[in-house]
């Protein structure tokens, strides 16, 4: 009876974690470049009350007798499938079609993001909304001399082409994309940023449309890959699982109460 109660408690904790992940997915349904999470479970250890036995000349073998002791969290995965691109018609809004991440730097560390809503600061440096500088394929910050530029555009390979005030054109820089052998191993750092981990692999930096990297689409932004209908369905299933585990605890408590009443 106590085993069933503790199994129910483990189930409550696990489904609470699943609901936490689902809630975070729904909260970020309109977050640019957000990748949804997924919780998977595994059974916990089992108590063996009788081991298996081999067959003999006179008797067949018997299976082990084991009692499970609940469940635990197996993994919380990041599903890195691509989200749909939304047209914004803004030159500095960049979406990635395919694999790859933009590289941004806070002055100390490199971070990676699929959210391409970039801006120009007062010095003409290409930055994120938090002021992180966007890097080119040489690892340098991208800077535009806005006083000497008439217009600029960004091609699919990430090249920034500028038209100067004197009418001449120039390729200023190429926006870098980083590719990872295991993008699901990247760790979330908040603010639409990801950071390298020991299981993500080293970043393979280069221009878009090369070595399996995706292409850059100017004037678009990648939406979240959260599917609300799927999340609501998972939420209902998690809620029912939570309720079922509370019922296990309630039933175990009622049986314990019956045992206590036997003495009366």
Residue 58 forms part of a structural domain: no
Same domain, 132 and 241: no
Nearest to 233 by CA among 243, 241, 225, 222: 241
Residue 54 forms part of a structural domain: no
Same domain, 214 and 233: no
Segment-wise mean pLDDT, segments of 10 residues, the chain, 264 residues: 86 96 97 95 90 90 91 94 94 95 95 96 94 95 89 94 90 95 93 94 94 95 96 96 94 88 76
Same domain, 35 and 124: no
Structural domains counted in the chain: 2
Same domain, 9 and 138: no
pLDDT of residue 46: 87
pLDDT of residue 1: 59
Q: Strand, helix or coil at 32? A: coil
DSSP string, 193-253: EEE--TTT---EEEETTSTTB-EEEETEEEPP---HHHHHHHHHHHHHHHHHHHHHHHHHH
Residue 192 forms part of a structural domain: yes
Same domain, 170 and 236: no
pLDDT of residue 65: 92
Same domain, 109 and 183: yes
CB 136 within 8 A of CB 173: yes
Residue 56 forms part of a structural domain: no
Same domain, 97 and 193: yes
pLDDT of residue 166: 86
Q: Strand, helix or coil at 261? A: helix
CB 112 within 8 A of CB 101: yes
Return phi, psi of residue 72, to 5°: -150, 170
Residue 131 forms part of a structural domain: yes
Q: Which domain holds residue 107?
A: 85-222
pLDDT of residue 165: 86
Same domain, 73 and 95: no
Same domain, 120 and 217: yes
pLDDT of residue 28: 96
Same domain, 74 and 124: no
Q: Strand, helix or coil at 14? A: helix
């Amino acid at each position: 009876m106590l085993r069933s109660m503790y199994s129910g408690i483990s189930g409550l904790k696990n489904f609470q974690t699943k609901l936490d992940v689902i809630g975070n997915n729904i909260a970020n349904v309109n977050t640019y470049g957000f990748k949804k999470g997924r919780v998977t479970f595994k059974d916990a250890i089992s108590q063996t009350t009788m081991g298996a036995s081999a067959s003999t000349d006179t008797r067949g073998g018997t299976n082990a007798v084991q009692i499970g002791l609940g469940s635990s969290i197996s993994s919380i995965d990041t599903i890195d499938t691509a989200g749909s691109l939304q047209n914004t018609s803004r030159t500095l809004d960049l979406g990635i079609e395919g694999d790859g991440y933009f590289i941004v730097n806070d002055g100390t560390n490199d971070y990676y993001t699929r959210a391409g809503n970039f801006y120009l600061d007062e010095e003409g440096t290409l930055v994120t909304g938090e002021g992180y500088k966007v890097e080119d394929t040489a690892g340098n910050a991208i800077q535009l001399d806005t006083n000497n530029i008439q217009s600029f555009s960004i091609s699919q390979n990430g090249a920034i082409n500028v038209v100067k005030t004197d009418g001449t054109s120039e390729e200023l820089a190429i926006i870098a994309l980083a590719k990872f052998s295991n993008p699901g191993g990247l760790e979330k750092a908040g603010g639409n940023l990801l950071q390298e981990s020991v299981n993500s692999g080293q970043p393979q930096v280069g221009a878009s449309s090369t070595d399996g990297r995706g292409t850059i689409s100017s004037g678009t932004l990648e939406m979240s890959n959260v599917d609300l209908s799927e999340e609501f369905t998972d939420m209902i299933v998690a809620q029912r699982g939570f309720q079922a585990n509370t019922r296990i605890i309630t039933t175990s408590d009622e049986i314990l109460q019956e045992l206590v009443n036997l003495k009366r």
